């Protein structure tokens, strides 16, 4: 595939040494996680991402209940394996179905590798660990990751989730290579910055996800399942309307903002649309409107760093207070 002339920058992902594109491709959408995406459309979106210079693709068996991994495997089947980095997850299988046992995690990854048509993944995360008792995460899930790493089925391992406390806790107890955090380095929430000293101290790679806050920063109607309280939704709507009056797009500003921080190696965006991923790649090659940024941040100030609880109460002390 011929690459476009767009300038996609790359940064080092902590101790992994992987030189990852600042914009990564989140493959949840090609599993029809948010809307129905025909298989051929999803495959074209993956190819457009690679053609545009993106070299990190993240997926999970949870997305579309294995559909995303299946489609992604077909999209990557004829692409040289050394031209991209592949990330998947284990432990979450459905909305309320989790299996963090050693046997379950290993079985899940082996099934993922078959769907993805590969012998290994570059990054492997325990998926949404805040829904599982910490004792099981540390006692079974993480040891399973290290066993898979020893077997060569995963090059680097870590955990993912929403509450930032999960990272502080697991990084104190386990020598992880990477973490995946979402919705905490966006226009409305930059609390991920609080983790930077710890990540630097331990040289842990950071994958940032959802610069659009799962749709809050698009100006489009939100799905019923979105966990944000009404105040967050309303203020973000006002920010989107302000951008529209200025002939601008809040989503563009949001993507540019998240990608711009030099200490964030990569930020995942998810789409099942070829046109959208090409648009996102163009956006990060364009200058950010600093005046508009200042105006939008002022509008968002009343909800700055507000989030919502996720998972077990033990991980959410004080969240939403």
Residues 173-208: tens digit of each pLDDT? 999 999 999 999 999 999 999 999 999 999 999 999
CB 15 within 8 A of CB 177: yes
Measured CA to CA, the distance from residue 244 to residue 240 in angstroms comes to 6
Closest C-alpha among 102, 110, 28 to residue 71: 28
On the 0-12 / 13-18 / 19+ scale of CB atoms within 10 A, 158 is buried
Q: Rounded distance, CA 239 to CA 250, Å?
A: 7
In this predicted structure, the answer to whether residue 49 has a pLDDT above a threshold of 60 is yes
Structure tokens at 191: 């609390």
| Verdict on whether the full-model pTM lies above 0.85 | yes
Q: Which DSSP string do the residues of 117-186 spell out, in sequence order? A: TSS-EEEEEES-GGGS-HHHIIIIIHHHHHHHHHTTSEEEEEEEES-THHHHHHHHHS--SEEEEESSSS
**20 contacts 266 by C-beta, under 8 angstroms:** yes
pLDDT in tens, 132-174: 999 999 999 999 999 999 999 999 999 999 999 999 999 999 9
Q: Cα–chain-centroid distance for residue 143?
A: 23
DSSP state of 218: S
**What is the chain's mean pLDDT, rounded?**
95
Report angle CA 232, 233, 238 to the nearest 5 degrees: 100
What was the pLDDT predicted at 7? 59
Average pLDDT over residues 31-58: 95
pLDDT band with cut points at 50, 70 and 90 for residue 3: very low
Cα gap 30→275, rounded to integer Å: 14
% of the chain surpassing 90 pLDDT? 93
Q: Tokens standing for 120?
A: 């290994």
Instruction: Look at residue 88 and tell me whether its pLDDT is greater than 70.
Output: yes
Residue 25: which pLDDT band, with cuts at 50, 70 and 90? Answer: very high
Residue 270, φ and ψ in degrees, nearest 5 = -115, 135
Residue 163: burial class (beta carbons within 10 Å; 0-12, 13-18, 19+): buried
In degrees and rounded to multiples of 5, residue 182 shows phi and psi of: -135, 150
* Residue 320: band (very low, low, confident or very high) from pLDDT cuts 50, 70, 90: low
Is the pLDDT score of 2 beyond 70? no
Which residues are part of the catalytic machinery? Answer: 63
Q: Which two tokens stand for residue 80?
A: 């040289």
> Averaged over 75-96, what is the pLDDT?
97
- Cα angle at 3 between 280 and 264, to 5 degrees? 45
pLDDT (0 to 100) of residue 224: 83
Q: Is the pLDDT of residue 302 over 50?
A: yes
* Helix/strand/coil percentages in the chain, nearest 5: 45, 15, 35
Residue 246 has pLDDT above 90, yes or no: yes
**pLDDT tens digits, one per residue of 254-284:** 999 999 999 999 999 999 999 999 999 999 9
Residues linked to residue 179 through DSSP beta bridges, in sequence order? 159, 206
Chain mean position to CA 184: 11
pLDDT tier for residue 6 given thresholds of 50, 70 and 90: low
């Amino acid at each position: 595939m011929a690459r476009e002339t767009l300038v996609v920058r790359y940064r080092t992902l902590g101790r992994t040494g992987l030189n990852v594109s600042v914009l990564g491709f989140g493959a949840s959408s090609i599993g029809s996680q948010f809307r129905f995406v025909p298989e051929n459309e999803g495959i074209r979106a993956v190819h457009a991402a690679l053609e545009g210079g993106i070299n990190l693709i993240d997926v999970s068996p949870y997305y579309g209940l294995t559909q995303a991994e299946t489609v992604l495997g077909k999209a990557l089947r004829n692409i040289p394996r050394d031209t991209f980095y592949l990330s998947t997850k284990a432990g979450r299988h459905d909305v309320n179905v989790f299996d963090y046992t050693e046997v379950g995690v290993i079985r899940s990854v082996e099934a993922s590798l078959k769907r993805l048509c590969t012998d290994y993944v570059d990054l492997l995360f325990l998926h949404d660990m805040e829904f599982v008792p910490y004792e099981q995460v540390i006692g079974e899930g993480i040891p399973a990751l290290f066993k898979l790493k020893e077997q060569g089925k995963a090059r680097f391992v870590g955990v993912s989730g929403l509450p930032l406390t999960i990272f502080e806790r697991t990084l104190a107890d386990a020598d992880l290579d990477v973490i995946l955090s979402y919705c905490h380095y966006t226009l409305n929430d930059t609390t991920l910055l609080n983790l930077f000293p710890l990540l630097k101290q331990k040289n842990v790679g950071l994958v940032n996800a959802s610069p659009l806050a799962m749709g809050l920063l698009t100006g489009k109607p939100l799905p019923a399942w979105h966990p944000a309280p009404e105040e967050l939704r309303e203020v973000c709507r006002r920010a989107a309307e302000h951008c529209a009056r200025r002939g601008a797009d809040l989503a563009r500003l949001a993507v540019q903002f998240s990608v711009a921080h030099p200490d964030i190696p990569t930020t995942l965006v998810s789409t099942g649309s070829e046109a959208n991923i090409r648009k996102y790649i163009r956006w990060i090659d364009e200058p950010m409107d600093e005046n508009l940024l200042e105006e939008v941040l002022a509008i968002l100030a009343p909800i700055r760093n507000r989030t919502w609880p996720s998972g077990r109460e033990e991980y959410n002390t004080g969240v939403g207070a």
